Amino acid sequence: MRDFEYEAPTALADAVELLAGANGSAKLLAGGTDLIDHVRTGRLEPDLLIDIKKLAELNVLEASDSGLRLGAAVPCYQIYGNEQITSNYSALADSCQIIGGVQIQSRASVGGNLCNSGPAADSTPSLIALGAVCVIAGPNGTREVAAEDFCTAPRQNVLEAGELLVELKFPAPGGKSGSHYRRFIPRNEMDIAVVGVGAAVTLDDSGENFVSARIALGAVGPTPIFAQAAGDALAGQPANDDSIAAAAAAAREVATPIDDMRGTVEFRNHATAVLTERVLKTAIARARGEADGYTIGH
Amino acid sequence: MATADVDTAQTNGNGKYKVIGTRPIRHDGVDKVTGRALYGADVKLSGMLHAAMLRSPHAHANIKSIDTSKAEALPGVRAVVTNADLPEVGDRIAELGEGAVNLRHLSCNVLAGPKVLYKGHAIAAVAAENIHIAKEAVGLIDVEYELLPPVLDVREAMEDSAPILNDDVRTDTMGELGNTPTNIAAHFRYEKGDIEKGFAEAKVVVEREFDTATVHQGYIEPHNATALWNKDGHITVWTSTQGTFSVRQQVAELVNVPLSKVKVIPMEIGGGFGGKISVYLQPVAALLSKKSGQAVKLIMDRSAVFEATGPTPGSYIRVKMGVDAGGKITAAEAYLAYEAGGYPGSPINPGCMCIFACYDVPNGKIDGFDVCVNKPRTNAYRAPGATNAAFAAETVIDEICDELGICPVEFRLNNASKEGTRRVDGVEYPVIGMADTVEAIKSSAHWQSNLEGPNRGRGVASGFWFNCGLKSAATATVNADGSVSLIEGSTDIGGSRASLAMQLAETLGIAAEDVNPAVVDTDSVGYTDVTGGSRVTFATGIAAYEAGMDIRRQMIARAAEIWDVDADQVRYEDGTIIGPESSYTFKELAELVIKTGDPVTGRGASSAANQGGAFGTHCVDVEVDPDLGKVKILRYTIAQDCGTAIHPSYVEGQMQGGAVQGIGWALNEEYFYGDDGSMHNASYLDYRIPTCYDVPMIETIIVEVPDPEHPFGVRGVGEVPIVPPPAAIANAINNAIGVQMTELPMSPPRVVHEILKKNS
Ligand SMILES: Cc1cc2nc3c(=O)[nH]c(=O)nc-3n(C[C@H](O)[C@H](O)[C@H](O)COP(=O)(O)OP(=O)(O)OC[C@H]3O[C@@H](n4cnc5c(N)ncnc54)[C@H](O)[C@@H]3O)c2cc1C
């Protein structure tokens, strides 16, 4: 492993300045659970690591009537340990509960998961399904980008030189809402998603019909995929097996998977539809306040 | 609670034994659970250098040139070695205990000769003041390659048009050599009876083809070696290995020094399963030490372990079996092609011998091929070659049972090999327990239970593995406090210190805790073959028993001297030395030993004994997710003939460990290759061994049909439990969802593929 410098600024402006001044040879360090491994194996060779865990803005965790604010460096265990998140943004809690084990969850952040921009990142489909907006700070000020527009290619995203992700803003769920994320892995632990699906649904007062739905897919394309048409088509439909099967088929249509050591194209296409059905059913059960029957890893 | 019967004898010795069949705490237990045990990576010597390896990025290439000058010039670098530093060893064969190896191939495997034959093939090594400098220097070595097309599939490698890996390999057909270079290193053929006639007598004949992927032992501890080549020409090697004497021999041969110049000191070993017999790093560390004048430590990282040590072969197998209306096998035929990896030496021969070994096959024909492909050179892995073979034969049997409407357990009872059965390869069985293991499953709570619910199924399968004898030596010294020190040379990978100490304790009639076993270096104990072939508790057990008997004779003589009576008036019974008028306990006499004459040291050895072999039958319940192809193991029971279980907990542990490895092999483990011949999943993230969330508690039934070749009836238990799992699970999947799997691993994408095929 190559030597590198380490800085831990306490003001956001200092972090931006350090980053912008390093001409691409600096890397931001949140939990480090992706970054340190990349440095260890030589895939990345930064001269400077900027620890962002000491920045107040990146540690915000605030749920109110107007929505959820989640600092980019907040570790997973704090997220699934927050009752407002487990009840109103359950898909996000589902994601955070399956990223690594306890040790990883004590460090790993959702911001790091998103900025690492892997196609199989477990929290990104939930961010997209829950309609999260990324707040980005840089030398030219602050801008906002929808979660579904953040990743651009495997390990690439919209961040420009000198920019960092500050927080994620989630709209407050309205009416009867429920969300869920699950992934398929061959074992029951210790795997990267072969397919991941996140969905958020809002039902009408009767709980029988969709008002709206958002579906997002992981590990079946170069970036996480927003299956917008599949979700949009559910608006106004009855929440039953037919509409769910149609949404699953539509989600499968937008998947563009590859063959690799984790799965085949055939399997991933098929599993996209299967998981979409299962995820929608769980999200609906949650919206209705019914038992969801979900156990981690299955 | 499981502890309730901890001290009850579990063996059918039924009170015959005092120590055997109990469950004392293992002698090496405290050090291991407190982290004090010293493994290969823990070796630290003053002035020690650290080394790193350059490995081939290509699967198949000629090495045109290697330029190490820039690496040598880097400050802190102390030595660089390549194949040019290894002496020419010639075309000789070395026996390694669980397989033999051509020394030239071994030498070229340790540091690549004119060619690299797989990605990860070692090319050069650098010793430096620290590991970071060593790694940096590795990056400064320039190698010029001439790329060659790789061949990764066993059947493609057998074609005439395939790229040839080794120009010195000729097909060895039962001793006769072919005359053109080929990838087919050997062709074995076994025949019995009249195969045509046998198939003509059958009511049902089923023929199927199978493919299995390359899999790795998956031990936790990476390979390691620290070596010091002293100025006086003596080489000391600290390493974790399954055989110190085998490492001594390989190092001496490869660096061309007399055996006596090499001393191998065994470190604790973090798993081996057959993979830590062949040398990789030891000769390289020795050469680096010779060049630098300092001790040198060399440790593999995980990807090197996957890419460059010896996995067990991928294979192509075809099985055809005929059964008559009465459910008796009339004929069986098999064709097996095993991937040897870069150099010849797959376990094809044992695969051929095992494939029908569980059954009385009146007419049989077996052809086996050892085939070089651009993958790491394969090595032993728990019952090498037998699991692939059993997957094929045992699933064909299940299909035949289905067709004839016969219960698979009854079929196995009806056709089981027994004493006097002659295998297709000609061997006639002594007393064996195949049928007993099937009976045990038949009467088990598991088999008797009803399996209900959708997508659930049950499967059974049996398996056989040889137990070898080979050579072992041990000495034992009586201490004044009545304890006995046992000195032995079998490195302990499965609780063998405990099982050997217990056999010595039983022989002497003392407590297991009063024996202190120690595994010592090659200068300190007699020649002992590897810890492999399920042989240690059997063969080193005989040596420990003989050492105990030697002590008994000396104790009797000493007591006779003290009492001034004839030795034949003194007898040794249950730890007591009894004379005509008085007696001593072992402890009382031990205290007198030094006061009255020479110290008492017993010696024992074994070489002649041949074990009868071990059989196991497994029963498994699974639930298959019909949409996602994921197989959940609901319940798993093993019945295995263990001869006599010395320490039942460790016997059960071996059965459970073997089954879990077999479950991993069945469901998810595989080397996943790109077309360029590079392994894409050389890490435990994507090479998926089961975690504790993936397997239930494995239930065990110890069957005891004592082996008459051993004083206590021991049979080897370590290997056979990996043989039946893939077949048993395939049978259970078929029973659950009506899909016959013929490819390993039966991973979710493959299972879904078969389901979709069936539904369309
Ligand atoms: C054992 C293990 C198991 C794992 N299991 C899973 C799993 O099940 N699912 C899964 O999805 N992932 C998994 N991961 C990957 C990793 O833990 C996650 O991606 C995690 O969320 C990364 O967060 P982090 O805070 O550790 O990021 P870091 O490693 O600190 O950063 C990741 C990348 O993002 C950049 N970055 C971080 N924060 C910001 C920011 N605010 N602005 C701009 N760039 C930033 C970093 O520079 C770096 O390039 C696992 C990793 C390990 C080691």
User: Does residue B491 share a domain with residue B456?
Assistant: no
Domain range enclosing A165: 57-171
- What ipTM describes this predicted complex? 0.95
**Does pLDDT of B478 surpass 60?**
yes
The residues pairing with B485 across neighbouring beta strands, listed in sequence order, are B477, B516
> What is the side-by-side order of every strand in the sheet holding A61-64?
A61-64, A67-71, A164-170, A133-138, A141-146
What CATH number does residue A19 fall under?
3.30.43.10
- Region of residue B162 (left: phi > 0; alpha: psi -120 to 50; beta: else): beta
Q: In angstroms, rounded to a whole number, what is the distance separating the alpha carbons of residues B181 and B317?
A: 24
What CATH number does residue B114 fall under?
3.90.1170.50
The first and second tokens of residue B440, run together, are 């045990």
Name, in order, each residue with C-beta under 8 angstroms of B237's C-beta and a sequence gap of 6 or more: B225, B226, B227, B247, B248, B251, B262, B263, B264, B265, B282, B285, B286
Residue A237 lies in a domain: yes
Q: What is the pTM of this model?
A: 0.96
Residue B492 contacts residue B28 (beta carbons within 8 Å): yes
- Closest Cα of chain B to A124: distance in Å? 21
Name, in order, each residue with C-beta under 8 angstroms of B328's C-beta and a sequence gap of 6 or more: B414, B415
pLDDT at B101 (0 to 100): 82
User: Does residue A190 share a domain with residue A142?
Assistant: no
pLDDT at B6 (0 to 100): 34
Strand residues in B612-722 grouped as ranges (E): 614-624, 631-641, 699-703
**Does pLDDT of B3 surpass 60?**
no
Neighbours of A23 (CB within 10 A): 10
Boundary (domain end) residue, out of B586, B606, B626: B606
Q: How far is the CA of A109 from the centre of ligand 1 (A)?
A: 6
Between B175 and B151, the more confident residue is: B151
User: Does residue A85 share a domain with residue A47?
Assistant: no
User: Does residue B633 share a domain with residue B599?
Assistant: no
User: Does residue A167 share a domain with residue A66?
Assistant: yes
User: Does residue A132 share a domain with residue A63?
Assistant: yes
Cα B488 to chain centroid, rounded? 20
State the closest ligand 1 atom to the C-alpha of A37, by its place in the atom list counted from 1: 53
Residue B193 lies in a domain: no
Q: How far apart, in Å, are the Cα atoms of B612 and each of A230, B24, B467, B469, B496?
A: 64, 28, 7, 10, 20
pLDDT at B98 (0 to 100): 59
User: Does residue B145 share a domain with residue B82?
Assistant: yes
Specify the residue for token string 């430590």: B297
Please report which helix (H) or strand (E) contains residue A279, including its range: helix A265-288
Residue B570 contacts residue B134 (beta carbons within 8 Å): no
Torsions phi, psi for B54 (to 5 deg): -90, 130
Residue B549 contacts residue B476 (beta carbons within 8 Å): no
> What is the side-by-side order of every strand in the sheet holding B61-67?
B115-116, B61-67, B142-147
Residue B225 contacts residue B391 (beta carbons within 8 Å): no
Task: Count the domains in chain B.
Answer: 3
> What is the side-by-side order of every strand in the sheet holding B614-624?
B456-465, B614-624, B631-641, B699-703
Torsions phi, psi for B704 (to 5 deg): -125, 100
Residue B497 contacts residue B519 (beta carbons within 8 Å): yes
The first and second tokens of residue B300, run together, are 């593999």
Does ligand 1 lie within 6 Å of residue A98's CB atom?
yes
Q: In angstroms, rounded to a whole number, what is the distance separating the alpha carbons of residues A213 and A209?
A: 11
Mean pLDDT over each residue of chain B, to the nearest integer: 95
pLDDT tier at B91, thresholds 50, 70, 90: confident
pLDDT at B737 (0 to 100): 98
pLDDT at B96 (0 to 100): 66
pLDDT tier at B705, thresholds 50, 70, 90: very high
Q: Which of B207, B173, B408 is nearest to B317 (CA)?
A: B207
pLDDT at B100 (0 to 100): 76
Substitution candidate for ligand 1 out of A96, A97, A110, A113 with most atoms within 8 A of CB: A113
Q: In angstroms, rounded to a whole number, what is the distance separating the alpha carbons of residues A114 and A95?
A: 12
Q: In angstroms, rounded to a whole number, what is the distance separating the alpha carbons of residues B668 and B678?
A: 19
* Mean pLDDT, residues B174-183: 94
What CATH number does residue A262 fall under?
3.30.390.50
* Mean pLDDT, residues B112-133: 97
Q: How far is the CA of B41 from the centre of ligand 1 (A)?
A: 30
User: Does residue B664 share a domain with residue B559?
Assistant: no
What CATH number does residue B14 fall under?
3.30.365.10
Residue B545 lies in a domain: yes
Neighbours of B417 (CB within 10 A): 22
Which amino acid would we find at residue B736?
A: A
Task: Count the domains in chain A.
Answer: 3
User: Does residue B661 share a domain with residue B534?
Assistant: no
Burial of A65 from C-beta contacts in 10 A (0-12 / 13-18 / 19+): exposed
User: Does residue A65 share a domain with residue A45?
Assistant: no
**Does pLDDT of B99 surpass 70?**
no
Q: Which of A 266-285 lie inside 8 A of B, CB atoms?
A: 266-267, 270-271, 274
Specify the residue for token string 């357990």: B409
pLDDT at B389 (0 to 100): 98
Residue A131 contacts residue A240 (beta carbons within 8 Å): no
pLDDT tier at B457, thresholds 50, 70, 90: very high
Find chain A residues with C-beta within 8 A of B691's C-beta.
Answer: 187-190
Q: Which of A202, A208, A287, A206 is nearest to A240 (CA)?
A: A208
Domain range enclosing B559: 469-606
Residue A293 lies in a domain: no
Alpha-carbon torsion B228, B234, B237, B238, what sign? negative
User: Does residue A253 share a domain with residue A196?
Assistant: yes
User: Does residue A239 share a domain with residue A160?
Assistant: no
Boundary (domain end) residue, out of B606, B622, B640: B606
User: Does residue A63 share a domain with residue A44?
Assistant: no
User: Does residue A185 share a domain with residue A281?
Assistant: yes
Does ligand 1 lie within 6 Å of residue A57's CB atom?
no
Q: In angstroms, rounded to a whole number, what is the distance separating the alpha carbons of residues B538 and B716?
A: 6
The first and second tokens of residue B620, run together, are 């498994």
List pLDDT tens digits, range B409-430: 999 999 999 999 999 999 999 9
Q: What spatial distance separates the first Cα and last Cα of chain B, rounded to whole Å?
A: 50
User: Which residue puts its alpha carbon closest to atom 4 of ligand 1?
Assistant: A100
Does ligand 1 lie within 6 Å of residue A99's CB atom?
yes
Name, in order, each residue with C-beta under 8 angstroms of B271's C-beta and a sequence gap of 6 or more: B217, B218, B219, B220, B221, B493
Alpha-carbon torsion A209, A214, A218, A222, what sign? positive
The residues pairing with B115 across neighbouring beta strands, listed in sequence order, are B62
Residue A298 lies in a domain: no
Residue B11 lies in a domain: yes
Does ligand 1 lie within 6 Å of residue A91's CB atom?
no
Q: What spatial distance separates the first Cα and last Cα of chain A, rounded to whole Å?
A: 37
Torsions phi, psi for B352 (to 5 deg): -65, -40
Helix, strand, coil shares of chain A as percentages rounded to 5? 35, 25, 40
The residues pairing with A168 across neighbouring beta strands, listed in sequence order, are A70, A134
Cα B125 to chain centroid, rounded? 28
User: Does residue A185 share a domain with residue A85?
Assistant: no
Residue B81 lies in a domain: yes
Boundary (domain end) residue, out of A171, A195, A219: A171
Find chain B residues with C-beta within 8 A of A190's C-beta.
Answer: 684-685, 688, 691
**Which residue in A186, A188, A260 is closest to B748 by CB distance?**
A186
> What is the side-by-side order of every strand in the sheet holding A225-226?
A176-184, A195-203, A210-218, A225-226
User: Does residue B458 share a domain with residue B566?
Assistant: no
Residue B376 lies in a domain: no
Q: In angstroms, rounded to a whole number, what is the distance separating the alpha carbons of residues B724 and B636?
A: 12
A174-183 burial, b for 16+ CB within 10 Å, e for fewer? eebbbbbbbb
User: Does residue B267 share a domain with residue B144?
Assistant: yes
pLDDT tier at B616, thresholds 50, 70, 90: very high
List pLDDT tens digits, range B514-560: 999 999 999 999 999 999 999 999 999 999 999 999 999 999 999 99
**Which residue in B684, B688, B756 is closest to A186 by CB distance?**
B688
Burial of A189 from C-beta contacts in 10 A (0-12 / 13-18 / 19+): middle
Query: For A236-274, what is the HEC assignment?
Result: CCECCHHHHHHHHHHHHHHCCCCCECCECHHHHHHHHHH
Q: In angstroms, rounded to a whole number, what is the distance separating the alpha carbons of residues B270 and B220?
A: 6
The first and second tokens of residue B587, run together, are 């402890």
Residue A165 lies in a domain: yes
Neighbours of B427 (CB within 10 A): 14
Does ligand 1 lie within 6 Å of residue A35's CB atom?
yes
Residue A268 contacts residue A195 (beta carbons within 8 Å): yes
Helix axes B725-737 and B386-404, enclosed angle (nearest 10): 30
Q: In angstroms, rounded to a whole number, what is the distance separating the alpha carbons of residues B554 and A22?
A: 80
Q: How far apart, in Å, are the Cα atoms of B674 and each of B152, B153, B328, B378?
A: 10, 12, 45, 19
Helix axes B541-563 and B496-508, enclosed angle (nearest 10): 30
User: Does residue B98 share a domain with residue B13?
Assistant: no
What CATH number does residue A98 fall under?
3.30.465.10
Substitution candidate for ligand 1 out of A33, A53, A197 with most atoms within 8 A of CB: A33
Find chain B residues with C-beta within 8 A of A261's C-beta.
Answer: 672, 680-681, 686
Boundary (domain end) residue, out of A122, A156, A171: A171
Q: How far is the CA of B228 from the centre of ligand 1 (A)?
A: 43
- How many residues does this entry show for chain B? 760
Boundary (domain end) residue, out of B278, B308, B338: B308
User: Does residue A231 share a domain with residue A153?
Assistant: no
Q: How far is the CA of A45 from the centre of ligand 1 (A)?
A: 17
Local confidence pLDDT in tens for the 298 residues of chain A? 778 999 999 999 999 999 999 989 999 999 999 999 999 888 999 999 999 999 999 999 999 999 999 999 999 999 999 999 999 999 999 999 999 999 999 999 999 999 999 999 999 999 999 999 999 999 999 999 999 999 999 999 999 999 999 999 999 998 899 999 999 999 998 899 999 999 999 999 999 999 999 999 999 999 999 999 999 999 999 999 999 999 999 999 999 999 999 999 999 999 999 999 999 999 999 999 998 888 875 4
User: Does residue B699 share a domain with residue B627?
Assistant: yes
User: Does residue B557 share a domain with residue B665?
Assistant: no
User: Does residue A147 share a domain with residue A181?
Assistant: no
Angle formed at CA A130 by CA A124 and CA A133, multiple of 5 degrees: 75
Residue B439 contacts residue B418 (beta carbons within 8 Å): no
Residue B271 lies in a domain: yes
Residue B284 lies in a domain: yes
Helix axes B103-110 and B244-255, enclosed angle (nearest 10): 90
Residue B402 lies in a domain: no
pLDDT at B5 (0 to 100): 38
Residue A295 lies in a domain: no
Q: In angstroms, rounded to a whole number, what is the distance separating the alpha carbons of residues B362 and B333?
A: 11
Residue of A nearest to B626 (CA): A274
pLDDT at B9 (0 to 100): 35
User: Does residue B266 share a domain with residue B136?
Assistant: yes
User: Which residue puts its alpha carbon closest to atom 33 of ligand 1?
Assistant: A116
The first and second tokens of residue B688, run together, are 């998926």
User: Does residue B46 share a domain with residue B2?
Assistant: no
